Amino acid sequence: MALLGWLLGGNDRELAKTIPGESASAKAARKDAAASARRSTSHRNAGATRAARRGQQWDDNERRQQGGY
């Protein structure tokens, strides 16, 4: 029965101690943290990006009205 113990599941942290590599829960937590960081960075920068685009559009329009570059 000991050979088939891995089929029944168990404590992931205990299995990680015996098997080299990263545990499934640690891997999931790491991936979730990275995705959360990407989302928050994107959210924080959204206003700055939008403002920069509008400013550039305004500048382009002004230059076009004054005869171009």
Least confident interval from 6-10, 36-40, 42-46: 6-10
pLDDT at 24: 82
Q: How far is CA 36 from CA 10, 31, 46, 57, in A?
A: 28, 9, 15, 31
Runs of H (alpha helix) within 1-69: 12-18, 24-65
Is the residue at 5 inside a domain?
Answer: no
Is the residue at 49 inside a domain?
Answer: yes
Can you give the pTM of this predicted structure?
0.38
pLDDT at 67: 85
CB 69 within 8 A of CB 63: yes
CB 11 within 8 A of CB 19: no
Is the residue at 2 inside a domain?
Answer: no
Q: Domain containing 58: what range?
A: 10-65
Domain count, the chain: 1
pLDDT classification of 38: cutoffs 50, 70, 90:
confident
The residue-averaged pLDDT of 3-18 equals: 64
